[in-house]
Structure 1
Amino acid sequence: MKTFLATRSPFLIVAALAVCVGTARADVIMDWNAKADAIAAEKKVLPVPQARTMSMLHVAMFEAVNAIDRRYTPYKLDLVADRSTSKEAAAAAAAYNILLTIYPDQKSALDTALHASLSGIPDTDGKANGIELGTIAASGVIALRRDDGSNAQESYRPATAAGVYVPTVVPLGTTVGSMTPWVMTSVSQFRPAPPPALDSETWSRDVNEIREVGARNSTTRTAEQTDIGRFWFLVGPPSFNPIVRQVALAKHMDLVDCARLFALAEIAGNDAIVAVLDAKYHYNLWRPTTAIRNADITHNPKTPRDSSWLPLGETPMHPEYPCAHCIVSASVSTVLRSIAGDDIGELSVTSPTAPGVTRKWSRIQDYSDEVSNARIYAGFHYRFSTEVGKDMGRKIGDLTVATQLRGLEARAEPKQ
């Protein structure tokens, strides 16, 4: 076992600064989660890079605090610290160094955040050792992800004939399938079977459903369904992090268990995004707006063409199959249900894409199911795609809980 020593490292962070995320969320894990969300919102970070950042952030915090408590098996870093080391300082320093590496232009705000996290901790060797431990944990996670494929150069080639115009916006996430997963053995581990044929009953049923309920001018979509569709234009970690925070609070988790819950949720969510984008570009299925406007070329008499059809929202810029929002919400909800159970009390979330609307659920599964329905109401996904996405997400969530950050008794077992 590698042992962390209480000596000053050249990476030691001695800046003193503070988190302004409100006194209602005193736990250092949730404070830094909220801080990272706020930075990403301000900088308009896309879901894929934000998912990578959040998974690195929370794995680093978990590795740091678990090295002190030694309650669970680590992810990769084999660190051990004296039990007098401050967990709060370790978590804060780990988070600070991850975010500073990814957002160096945010140093002033991050310095302020670090000071707030550290200001209530007595100035003892335990605090100093915690800062050093957190810095080492962050450095270790950064090294693990340095060559993870996230910097692959975009090389998407639009399909066209010489001289013929096509829309010039490059789709999103075309290189994500080359990223290294946290949990899966390969990005294609849970790649699903192909989508249904364009003359099948499933295709006819689902494309007709979305043509009716997902249209911008739909007369069959209810007012609540319209709110739900717009609400879940919110995607990526900001769409589930508030739920993870509420689950941790509802279960009165201590710092280590909270760190573990977030780490599991974030790496499952990250792997879900990697898996779904691999599948999307493998199958390259057209979106409803393309399919419905071109329905005549399928020669399927059960799916009539609508030449001016528009979805409720702006269609995401990547292929349709499977549903990305569905796989992410299902992977995270599977982790949460496995760790905390399904009945949490009341969960509630607001969304910047549906001002004045608050969505509430009594079960975690209800949140995941609503996200899937929302993509149909929005005109983005066929029902078969939402079901396949949810199934992939459940498998990734189950794999994450079964193989990662397990109790110490798992040390004697071979890692799957």
Structure 2
Amino acid sequence: MNVFRSRPALTALTALGATALLAASTAAPSEAATPTSAPRTSVALDWYDTTAQTITAAGATTQVTNSRAWAISWLAAARAAGSVPRGVDRGDYQDAALASAVHDALVALAPARTDQLDAALDRTLDSIPDGAAEDKGVAAGARQAALTLKSREGDGLDPASVNAPFTVPPAAPGVWQPTPPAQAPATQYGNRLAKPFALRGADQYRLPAPPALDSRQYEADLAEVRAYGVKEGSSRTARQTETANFWYGSSLTLYTEPLRVAVDRSPRSAADRARLVALFHVASVDTQIATSDSKYAHQRWRPVTAIRTGGIGQDPEWTPLHDTPAHPDYPSGHNTYSGAAEGVLEALAGPRTAPYDLTSPTAPGATRTYTDWHRLTAENVEARIYSGIHTRSADEAGVRLGEQVAGATLRNAEALLRPAR
């Protein structure tokens, strides 16, 4: 089995990301007005955890809508905390601004959690000395939350818009059709019509066509899924089956802990931590928009349809390890997400870190240890093949697309992080 290797583009992204973060950190001369105390990690991490809890408890049914909630709330935080008024304590101001911005944005986006969010804000403000820094930080956070929310009104990322109706084309070789067992209508079609944060449009990085049905690449792709992705009698090892199970769930859920590790280990200020979270989720939203654009532009059938009805070793009884999601094969959404996540994390947190452990809700009892961000991507590439739901070409094209969106996000970081007015 091949192991996907990161492309040299990520090295350039790392340099670009560091430059973007430094530029954002020094854009406003007033930020250096007072001496800086040692960075305080607790407020950024507290609100990271509060955001995760809020989305878990009261989030939308569509992943991209929840990614949008993260992006809006933490963009507001980064914008509010990024420029400190003269004459106030920087740490106190940034902590108050971050907490106020995330609180107000999440109250608007998840009103069912208002009581919990109010209590969290009270705890944060109780830990900050009363005075001008706290008052101005709270006011800045409230203002940036309101303006950031307003700027995203009607952006097409609500659940109804995300799952806009899609007319299934007539059955033909290579063309997507609903898949067993549910034969469900297509989902996520509306993502491609939504408003991105950093991209010029959903089709900015539209992928070239997938391998032709009569190509050697396509034949190899299908043979690999047929052997390693079948539910019964596969060529998978126990470890490979665990990999498929580990990465089967929501990418947003699976990447919440790796991003938290990066935030926790960042030596930078609360404002810089907010920028990391904001840019990560901006990239994830735009990646999901770009993914749906390529998926529905090419409408490539899923492996289960190809193997059951296609012209290469047709097997009407072939069944994948995992049920196939209801949207086209090319590219893999899990891998576009992974490519974008790796691009932002490597750029803003460095390519390697001390060991950290991950668990997965779809692989109970399994714990995996990592020392970088790339391994997450490599496992996602393999996992979708072992699950029987994507081809390698769809996986690797997805990683490339995610990397491109990460690059666009980092190049636009200064504009994205500039306080709204």
Both proteins in one fold, TM over 0.5: yes
Amino acid at match of 1:334: G
1:371 is the counterpart of 2:349? no
2:50 alignment partner in structure 1: 35
State the alpha-carbon separation in 1 of the partners of residues 42 and 295 from structure 2.
38
State the alpha-carbon separation in 1 of the partners of residues 322 and 386 from structure 2.
9
1:240 alignment partner in structure 2: 255
1:96: Cα distance to partner? Answer: 0.9
Match of 1:136 among 123, 135, 143: 143
**Residues 66 and 384 from structure 1, CA distance in 2 versus in 1: closer, same or farther, beyond 3 angstroms?**
same
1:41-69 superposed Cα distances (whole Å, 9 cap, x missing partner): 2346321111111111111110011022x
Segments of structure 1 that go 5 or more residues without pairing to the other structure are 5-24, 69-79, 411-416
Residues 2-151 of structure 1 aligned to structure 2 (within 5 Å):
27-43=42-58, 45=60, 46-68=62-84, 83-84=88-89, 86-151=93-158
Match of 1:345 among 354, 367, 389: 354
State the alpha-carbon separation in 2 of the partners of residues 49 and 236 from structure 1.
13
State the alpha-carbon separation in 2 of the partners of residues 245 and 392 from structure 1.
24
Moved more, 354-363 or 245-254: 245-254
1:159: Cα distance to partner? Answer: 4.9
State the alpha-carbon separation in 1 of the partners of residues 289 and 416 from structure 2.
27
CA contact (8 A) 1:265 1:332 kept: yes
CA contact (8 A) 2:77 2:271 kept: no
CA contact (8 A) 1:61 1:91 kept: yes
Q: Please, what is the CA RMSD of the aligned residues?
A: 2.8
Match of 2:292 among 265, 277, 284: 277
1:57-98 superposed Cα distances (whole Å, 9 cap, x missing partner): 111110011022xxxxxxxxxxx6764462111111111111
State the alpha-carbon separation in 2 of the partners of residues 58 and 172 from structure 1.
27
1:38: Cα distance to partner? Answer: 2.2
Aligned length: 369
1:192 is the counterpart of 2:192? no
1:214 is the counterpart of 2:214? no
State the alpha-carbon separation in 2 of the partners of residues 143 and 33 from structure 1.
22
CA contact (8 A) 1:328 1:393 kept: yes
DSSP-derived class of the 2:201 partner: coil
State the alpha-carbon separation in 1 of the partners of residues 416 and 189 from structure 2.
37
1:314-345 superposed Cα distances (whole Å, 9 cap, x missing partner): 21121111011101111111111112221212
1:257 is the counterpart of 2:266? no
State the alpha-carbon separation in 2 of the partners of residues 336 and 186 from structure 1.
23
DSSP-derived class of the 1:67 partner: coil
State the alpha-carbon separation in 1 of the partners of residues 416 and 403 from structure 2.
21
CA contact (8 A) 2:58 2:110 kept: no
Amino acid at match of 1:138: A
1:169 is the counterpart of 2:179? no
DSSP-derived class of the 1:86 partner: helix
State the alpha-carbon separation in 2 of the partners of residues 360 and 330 from structure 1.
19
1:407: Cα distance to partner? Answer: 12
Higher RCO (C-alpha 8 Å, min separation 6): 2
State the alpha-carbon separation in 2 of the partners of residues 113 and 309 from structure 1.
51
Moved over 6 A (4+): 165-168
1:234: Cα distance to partner? Answer: 2.1
Q: TM-score normalized by structure 2? A: 0.81
CA contact (8 A) 1:190 1:392 kept: yes
- Percent identity, aligned pairs only, is 29
State the alpha-carbon separation in 2 of the partners of residues 113 and 366 from structure 1.
35
Q: TM-score normalized by structure 1? A: 0.82
CA contact (8 A) 2:41 2:270 kept: no
State the alpha-carbon separation in 1 of the partners of residues 416 and 394 from structure 2.
35
DSSP-derived class of the 1:405 partner: helix
